[in-house]
Structure 1
Amino acid sequence: MNASAADALDILVGEWLTVPDVAERLGTDPSKVRRIVQERRLVGSRRGDPRVFSIPEAFLVPGHLANPAQPTQPDAHAPWTVLASLQGTLTVLSDAGFADDEAIEWLFTAQEALPGTPIEALRAGRKTEIRRLAAAEL
């Protein structure tokens, strides 16, 4: 990814978190976060100088909103978690041939068929609509 594409992605995403930052937010350790990335529940990109693997902050949600379509009561023991609908959406995008950076860009880019971006729709509980859009990329 060239510098201008990286800058454009930074503008789209806004806030990035390093693996230790994600671990702290989730109340776990960095090795668990790396395992979550290996399981493709999260993706990230190398950002900054020096280049450090970072994850978009919007991929994390308050624990009671893990599944925004069925929110639960806030729980002080699970303050943050990974957005539950993200993994399946990342799988659909990967099946469509998207590399991780491209998937992140797609999730954070406004789509004509939506009022806003796919990540905003996922965070609002509209995973079926987003996966349908992602599958159309095949």
Structure 2
Amino acid sequence: MSERAVAPWVLADDVEALPISDVAQQLGIPISRVHQLMRDGHLLAVRRDGVAVIPEDFLSGAAVVKGLPGTVTVLRDGGYADEEILRWLFADDPSLPGTPIGALRSNRGREIKRRAQAMAL
């Protein structure tokens, strides 16, 4: 796994996160496939107490939250580091209201992707 695939812990302590093995089990895929999803930007991992974990909000049942991979790709292509993307996804935004990840989880991905595209310009 490349080092880019795991960012340092930059989120609030109340953000729930799962070890990669738990994510693999929830998605019903091998751990190696979770690592591939991370490399491809479909999931972002962070290190909490030295352990690579994935924010639980990135998952919806047995799937990655719809719109997350595209949002991450747009921001990465715009020059944003994974740490910056994570901060933005979990930052409270009164104009939404809530957080960008919350909006993605509630099927408002079009607005989030539009905002990500504007930020990436």
Question: Does the CA-based 8 Å contact 1:43-1:100 persist in structure 2?
Answer: yes
Structure 2: how far apart are the matches of 1:39 and 1:95?
12
Query: Matches of residues 56-135 of structure 1 in structure 2 within 5 Å?
Result: 56-62=55-61, 80-135=62-117
Aligned counterpart, 1:75: none
Work out the CA distance in 1 between the residues paired with 2:47 and 2:81. Answer: 13
CA contact (8 A) 2:66 2:104 kept: no
TM-score by length of 1: 0.74
DSSP 3-state at the match of 2:11: helix
What is the identity, as a one-letter code, of the residue corresponding to 2:54? I
How far, CA to CA, are the matches of 1:105 and 1:112 in structure 2? 15
The CA distance in 1 between the partners of 2:32 and 2:12, in whole Å, is: 25
What is the TM-score with the length of structure 2 in the denominator? Answer: 0.84
Structural RMSD (CA): 1.7
User: How many residue pairs end up in the alignment?
Assistant: 113
For residues 19-45 of structure 1, the C-alpha deviation after alignment (integer angstroms, 9 at most, x for no partner) is 111011112221111111122111111
Q: Flag the structure with more relative contact order, 1 or 2, with Cα contacts below 8 A and sequence separation at least 6.
A: 2
Alpha-carbon distance between aligned partners in 2 of 1:112 and 1:84, rounded to the nearest angstrom: 22
The percentage of aligned residue pairs carrying the same residue is: 43
Q: Give unmatched runs, 5+ long, in structure 1.
A: 63-79
- Residue 43 of structure 2 aligns with an amino acid whose one-letter code is L
